Chain A
Amino acid sequence: MSPDKHQGRRGLLGGLAAMTLGATVAPGVAVYTALPAKSAAGGASDKVRWGLLVDSNKCARDCTACIAACGEEHGLGGTGRPASDAQWIRKLNLHDPETGKDHALPVMCQHCAEPPCVDVCPTGASFKRADGIVLVDRHTCIGCRYCMMACPYKARSFIHEALTDQKPQAPRGKGTVEGCSFCVHRVDAGKQPACVEACRRSGHGAMTFGDLRDPDSEVSRALGEKASVRIRADLGLDPAVHYQGLPG
């Protein structure tokens, strides 16, 4: 190989390094309030994978700000019969009898990379977007509820009764299954999910949302600082929701 070609390759590598540096320095600046506009114009991209980190040490046992914000964002009004109401986020309180430590944590759709709800869906209504967000296309959902049985996180709800006055950004109706969408309409607009914003407003700041593929995103940096676990990691579903402060 001639010296010129060596030089050419070095030049190329140097250029690539400079480009990478430029790309990683810039998004970190504003990531706290807004997401990088990776998905806004061109739609969902497989260059990102949206993920959530919940620090259970910061999550207060009696706080339900995330659940209230989720309900407000998606119009999840109760019917007065809580046993059959839709529940996109559940607050779990765990107690370790050996150490006496209490853990509080919100559990929602874990947006698995290998989602069992998608595997079992007979119509293709349960699907994973290119950016890893797992959704129900309620145009094709027949309400069979296989996905609810397949989900190990009990993350989905069935709508039993006719609804009125739905939010424009959150169509939902009787006879279909639904669950946490990572506030997909907000993410597509470059915003954070409603629960994450509400958690910050409440002063706890236990939730961090962002691109798991970007090593410089807020969520990736937080994951790099402290060990995290994923619920039922033994199932190998590769969930996008991570938890810190839980016993492994």
Chain B
Amino acid sequence: MPALTAIWICLTVAVVAFGAPGSAWAADRVPKPEIAKAAGTECVRDADFMRANHMRLLRHQRDATVHRGRRPDEESLKGCLTCHAVPDAQTRPVGFDSPEHFCRSCHDYAAVSIDCFECHAARPPPGWQVKASGVNK
């Protein structure tokens, strides 16, 4: 689909242009998204791969889960949200209605609307707690 290709190109350009958050952006006049840090020590893949391909992993996982009943924690949407949940002032995870939500913080910035959370829970499963280290904020 041409539209999809155009979005891909835009995304790729955005990723290349803005690169990894941190030093390269520090003195930049271009506004940058405020993305919350994840609770875990490392993601299921490296950050560059995830920026470009997270939607592919999720799509593969959705078919494996819905049709074939394979439910590994790794690469599941629940797994993503458990690590990437952002706590609010009461240390409860924020929902997709909050601009601080991990997915929203970047998708708002990139102007790519997603409809995952019209059906899927945007918060991690019950029992989630803020990590003592506070790295998830």
Please determine whether B118 and A43 come into contact, CB atoms closer than 8 angstroms: no
**B137 adjacent to chain A (CB < 8 Å):** no
B69: chain A residues within 8 A (beta carbon): 39, 43-44, 129-131, 184, 188
Mask of B69-94 contacts with A, CB within 8 angstroms, 1/0: 11100000010010000000000000
A176→B119 contact, CB < 8 A: yes
Give Cα distance in the complex from A168 to B122, angstroms.
8
The interface size bin for chain A is: 20 to 34
Contact of A43 among B68, B81, B95, B119 (CB under 8 A): B68
Does A77 sit within 8 A of B, measured CB to CB? Answer: no
Contacts of A42 in B (CB 8 A): 70
B62 within 8 A of partner (CB): yes
Contact of A137 with B by CB under 8 A: yes
B55 within 8 A of A: no
Establish whether residues B62 and A43, one from each chain, have CB atoms under 8 Å apart when the complex forms. Answer: no
Please tell me which one of the listed residues A131, A167, A174, A184 contacts residue B118 in the complex, with CB atoms under 8 A apart: A174
- CB distance B120 to A171 under 8 Å? yes
| Residues of chain B lying within 8 A (CB to CB) of residue A167 | 121
Does any Cβ of A come within 8 Å of B134's Cβ?
no
Also in contact, A139 and B66, with CB within 8 A (given A167-B121, A171-B121): yes
Interface residues, chain B, CB within 8 Å of chain A?
A: 62, 64, 66-71, 78, 81, 95, 118-121, 123-125
